[in-house]
Structures are given as C-alpha cells and as structure tokens.
Structure 1
C-alpha cells in the first residue's frame, strides 16, 4: 500500500534537507520551488514544482495586492493537493509559509494534512514581540525589548536602557527592507533615535544588545505532537554564523557542548513549550550570557530550520517523525532525549563569506581551515545527491571563486560568495 505524498514548501538548504529526508524513506516528495536559482532544481530527489512560474503567470494576468499574492499560494496548494489525492502532507520551511498554512488550515485540511496550531496562536509564537510578552509572563528570561512604539516611546525606553541596541524583524520575511540586513547593531542612543526618526520601527523589535554571538547561540530542536507534548528534543550550537555573531549558522555542532549541560537548555525550552501548545517541528534559539551562563530567549522557528539536515545526519530524522505524526502515529518508540552522533556541520560558502567579514572574534586562517577538517555533515553536499552543491559551487565560481584561496591569507576583494 502506497503512502501519501509530501508537499514541501522549499527554501534553499532547509527545503533540500527535508526533501532528501523524506525521499530516502520512500515517500513521494513534491518540492515546491519559489526561485529559479534554487539549487534543489539539481537534486535527484523529488518532483520539482516550479511555483515561481505559476506566480509570474498569475502576476502577468492581472495586478495582485501583496496579501492576495500570498493567499494565491494557498489556492495553488489546495488545487495541487486535490489532484494528488490521498491527503498529502504539506510542510513549510519558512515563517511566512507556516503562517499561511495556519491561516488557511480549515480549508487545506479538507485535502491535505498540516500542523494544527491555530493561526492567531502561531502568529504569537513566530512574531518576536508577542513571543517575548508570553515568555516574560511565565518567568522565562528575555533581554529588555521594545516594539510597536513611536519616536517618543523609543525615546523614553532608551533613557532607561543605554546602548548598544539590536534591531531585528518581528519574524523572518517581515517587511523590513529599510534595515538592509537581518539584524543591525546600533551603538548609541543618539544613533538609534536618529534611525527611528528617519525610518520608523515598523515590523521591528528593538532589543538591548548582550554580547554573545558566535559560539554562544544554542538551539533546542525537536517535535511536538498535536497535543503540544514534546516528542523528542536535541541541542545545537552555532559555532560560527554569517553574518558573524548575528546571522544564520555557517558552522555548527550537534549535540551542543554547553558549559551548564544540555539539561539547562532542555529545561528552559520545555518550560516555554508547556505554555505555548505548539504542534510541529521547532527550532528555538537561546543566547547564553558568557559571564553568568544565563540563557535568554531569542527566537522560535515554528517549522524546519537551516540545520535540520545536520540533525538527520546525527541520527534524529525530524522530517520523518513529523510525517509519522501527521499520519497519526503516536511515536511511542521515539526517545525524548536521544543519544546522537557528535558531528560538525558547515555551509561552506557561507562560512567562507563569514570568515572574510573581518569580525573582531574571527579565527585565524589556520584554525578556521583546521575546523573544516572536522566536518562530516554539509548544508548542500551529499555523495548520494551531489547536484545542488555542484550547482552552488559553479555559481560561486562564476561570481569570483578566487576568494576562497585568498581566505587563507590576506582577504581579497572578489565578490560572489
């Protein structure tokens, strides 16, 4: 008897890892692609569904408002799942798509299987300002933050908290084009007020900056069932990020080597999850204060995350467990805290880019190169599926691959990584 297919809403490395996981289990995977240059085009796994072509045709046919364009994806998924039949699973790999599925959950559930967290509740989990309020109400440490205020409100708040400050979007894909980057550090109160006066703080959270950065960001990865119960949980450490100290993981380890031990991370994560009643794969980010060891809540990824393929390589296949959960399996055979293989993971081109960024805590070239020799898990490379990595390397070569050689000595000026 054939099993229902899975529709994966793919975003680069995260989508690729989910597709590979499910395809290796014999599941028919339909990879919905949002960009013509997604390396997943070159994977040997999954049916490629070029949604970007459908979206472009729809846009050319008539002018759509931004929200209508987003909702058009729900219409597309309803029709596609209906044609597949047998209630395929739909798995998002970004915040925007997770919210879209929750918003249209009642309709999509007629033809597919999706996670059950209600839209309003999921919005409070994904959007940092609401998440922080929930955490504070339940005694979970959060760095002082501010959102939804006008200039006068920011002026009053900064009189209480001196800089530096961190500006970040309320959630990934929030409209913060004026920010120019995912996260932005502003050193002084005067500079912050100048920024707010000229740009405002729409869709932004202002947070007191606490030095942590590379090596002090820890993630709790796992799965909750439809009752909000934690099925399994694991730890991850962001040893290097791109952009350095503030961006996505470029070099990480599982399990995390936490000075206070994994139980400290798992305990505070379980406390948070106990008040959220969440269903699905999660990746919860915590910043560890170097001086006190205190963990502070940073973000809640309510869907598969960048390093999910790393976790699979270490022995915990969350996409497969999520599939089983949505199929009604009670997962009683799954360990709550499984013993995992210790592996280092790299997104090589991002790591090169981060190394070239000249961050204050950048490792020396020899230490950086030596760390790469420890790697046994990769964002894109797979001996069974080399196409995506080769495509990405080819694109980098066309843009200036000579920078990789220069990364071992004087940093060059070549672009394209």
Structure 2
C-alpha cells in the first residue's frame, strides 16, 4: 500500500461512508470499515478489512475496547473517520482514550460537539454578528408563550441529533401550524426521549438553501472550499438534499471562515445556510463537523476531503481547489429524489416541466460508480425489495 497508516471508517450504513471509503481507496489507502451490523454500502472493492463490532451507543465501553484492541495490533496509528453525528459524539465522549491509539485532525476536545449543537453554537456566532434562526429549547420556561411572541407560527421543531429523530419519525423536522400542534409534538418527543428545539422558519425556495464546504489546516488557513445550492430535498422543504448543484455564492466565505478561524478549527466542515426571500439576509442554519452528503461531489470537483483529512492526520502535505466559478456539476440521490419529485408536483411547488428543465444527464451519483459497482447493485436490490415489501 502507498501509506503505512490505515483508515478506520466508522459507519457504512449510508452513502456518506461509501464515498469516504471509495475516495480513500482510490488514492491507495488501506481502508477498514467498522459497523455494528452488515450494511448495503459495506461491499465496496476498496474495503480491505470489514469489521463488525459492538454498538457505539448501546455498548459504548465495549466498542471503545474493540477499537483500541484493533489499533494496538497495527504498526502505525490508524486514522479514525466519523460518517455521522453520533460517531462524532462517540469520539468526543471517548476523546482521551481514543486519541492515544488513533489519529484525527481535531485536538480540541469538546469543540466539535459545541459547533454541532445549535444552542452552544450561538456563543461563537453572536460575537461575530453571524445571523442564525432564533431557537427555543424544549425545556425552556414559558416555552409556548415565548414561541407565540418571539417566533410565531408556522415554525418548526428540530432535533439536536438528527439520526435517532429521523429513524423514529421518518422526518427531519416537524412543521408546526399552531400552539396545540406544538404541545402535541413536544410531549411526544419528551415521551420518546428525543431532545428537540423550536426554530423560526427562514422563508424561501429550496434554491435559497446553500452549503459551504471547506478544509482548514493547522495554521487556520482555508486550503480548499466550494459552495452548493439545493434544488430538491426529502422530506420536501425541510430535509436532506436529493438533487443539488455546485453553485458559487461569494458571500458564504465571509460568513463562515471567520467562525472557524475564531475557534481555531482544523479539519473538514460544512455549513448549511439559507437566504431569507424577503430581506435577502443569509442565515447560518447548521454546522456539520463530519463527512457529508456531498462528499462524492467534492471529490468529483478534485476536492478530495477524505484524503485531506487523512494526510492532515498523518502529517503529510495536502492541497485542494478553491472553486469560485460555476462548473455546472449536479449531484443526485435517486432513491429519495423520486418521491421528492412526486411530492413537489403534488403540492404544486414544481411542474413536470420544471423537473425536466432542471434535469441533467451528466450527474455525480451518491451511490453508483463504474469502478465499484458492487454497492450500487446491492443497494438497488435492497431498494426494490424494500419498496415491494411496503
């Protein structure tokens, strides 16, 4: 292999993990995947070792031991990759133990967790004058009165941790029309152990939803960055991207980079933002400190963020593009884009002509790759069976 250090990727239950695996493997890295059960995306030809271990949350101590036992057997420290928020939290909760045996760029314990949390994030955005949607935690006093007076209706209920919320309710947020609905959803979330908050809606179409993806090195220099905007998402209006486009938005750099410089950030990050359709103000909605949906798009644009992370961790020099022009490159997650299209048309937000007009035959796929067809075939078979079963 080209590198002595191995890459240990936590989680291949989603196409994000698959993108990380492929773009490390293509560059000659020995890739090890770790899951708590077998998953559709774990059959990539770029996986050299496929490990099944204890559950990262239900058997946390056992999982830490499992990872450490594996690392002790290696000649060089492996590089640890999180592919979901809950894996970031796991790494934060076991920071000192894992850092003794694994490499990853961040050396500031607790920083990633603070940036992920919508409420603790405010202590960094407010001093810089960065606009964020107003939020109220579900355990705040006079919650319902404050929502009426400060946020108004409609508003949304969002989770602090997206994955368990989506797994439970099959939705990324709850749209709230009035106080009775808010009380119903808050009480349900409390019963189900979901930690949520209420947030003001920033109005505007999907194309007003942007992302700023960047890699910052140990010297607080932005090595590489690009911006995108959504075209469609699922669930519609408040969900994850299903169809998106690389699209340069100049203002995003000046909003996002000061935030990461102020905290001494190191590594990959993505900021989700939205422009208010009435005022034109761009609001920072969320910070992701793990690899994201657009990883394959980034790598297609020569911005190989998994390799930047890997080389940064092992002390090798690295570089990437700063994309400041529109390349007309699209990205698609077909499995969820089809129901999204149906719902947009059904609700009158899109016409069939709009869908055709936005369609491009040359797209970056979330899952399919000609040099690695196995995961695509396996996921296709699963999707057909899943739809038939439903």
Output the TM-score relative to the length of structure 1: 0.84
2:344 is the counterpart of 1:352: no
How many angstroms does 1:41 deviate by? 2.9
Question: How many residues align structurally?
Answer: 385
Tell me: CA distance 1:170–1:199, structure 2 relative to 1, closer, same or farther (3 Å).
closer
SS of aligned partner of 2:163? coil
1:101 pairs, out of 91, 95, 98, with 91
2:382 is matched with 395
1:219 is matched with 211
**Quick check: 1:213–1:244 contact (8 Å CA) kept in 2?**
no
Q: Which runs of 5+ in 1 are unaligned?
A: 57-65, 402-414
Task: Tell me the alpha carbon deviations over residues 201-233 of structure 1, each in whole angstroms, 9 at most, x when there is no partner.
Answer: 951121011223522210000112234442221
1:79 pairs, out of 55, 59, 69, with 69
1:342 is matched with 328
Tell me: CA distance 1:212–1:383, structure 2 relative to 1, closer, same or farther (3 Å).
same
Which whole-Å CA distance do the structure 2 matches of 1:396 and 1:198 have between them? 30
Tell me: CA distance 1:68–1:191, structure 2 relative to 1, closer, same or farther (3 Å).
closer
1:135 is matched with 125
How many angstroms does 1:313 deviate by? 0.8
Which whole-Å CA distance do the structure 2 matches of 1:168 and 1:96 have between them? 16
Which whole-Å CA distance do the structure 1 matches of 2:163 and 2:45 have between them? 29
**Quick check: 2:216–2:267 contact (8 Å CA) kept in 1?**
yes
State the structure with bigger RCO (CA 8 A, min sep 6), 1 or 2.
Answer: 2
How many angstroms does 1:80 deviate by? 1.4
How many angstroms does 1:177 deviate by? 7.1
SS of aligned partner of 1:283? strand
**Quick check: 1:314–1:340 contact (8 Å CA) kept in 2?**
no
SS of aligned partner of 1:352? helix
Tell me: CA distance 1:205–1:276, structure 2 relative to 1, closer, same or farther (3 Å).
farther
How many angstroms does 1:302 deviate by? 0.3
2:16 is the counterpart of 1:14: yes
2:78 is matched with 88
**Quick check: 2:215–2:268 contact (8 Å CA) kept in 1?**
yes
Q: Which moved more, 1:316-325 or 1:12-21?
A: 316-325
Tell me: CA distance 1:226–1:103, structure 2 relative to 1, closer, same or farther (3 Å).
farther
**Quick check: 1:82–1:111 contact (8 Å CA) kept in 2?**
yes
Which whole-Å CA distance do the structure 1 matches of 2:347 and 2:136 have between them? 28
2:253 pairs, out of 266, 287, 298, with 266
**Quick check: 1:151–1:196 contact (8 Å CA) kept in 2?**
no
Tell me: CA distance 1:45–1:382, structure 2 relative to 1, closer, same or farther (3 Å).
same
**Quick check: 2:83–2:292 contact (8 Å CA) kept in 1?**
yes
SS of aligned partner of 1:281? strand
Output the TM-score relative to the length of structure 2: 0.89
Q: Which runs of 5+ in 2 are unaligned?
A: none
How many angstroms does 1:117 deviate by? 4.1
SS of aligned partner of 1:128? coil
Which whole-Å CA distance do the structure 2 matches of 1:339 and 1:91 have between them? 30
SS of aligned partner of 1:20? helix
How many angstroms does 1:176 deviate by? 8.0
Which whole-Å CA distance do the structure 2 matches of 1:397 and 1:370 have between them? 28
2:197 pairs, out of 205, 210, 213, with 205
**Quick check: 1:212–1:245 contact (8 Å CA) kept in 2?**
no
**Quick check: 2:42–2:50 contact (8 Å CA) kept in 1?**
no
How many angstroms does 1:74 deviate by? 2.3
Q: Kindly report the root-mean-square deviation, in angstroms, between the aligned alpha carbons of the 2 structures.
A: 2.6
Which whole-Å CA distance do the structure 1 matches of 2:27 and 2:188 have between them? 52
2:139 is matched with 149
SS of aligned partner of 2:226? strand
SS of aligned partner of 1:86? coil
Tell me: CA distance 1:103–1:117, structure 2 relative to 1, closer, same or farther (3 Å).
farther
1:59 is matched with none
2:302 is the counterpart of 1:312: no
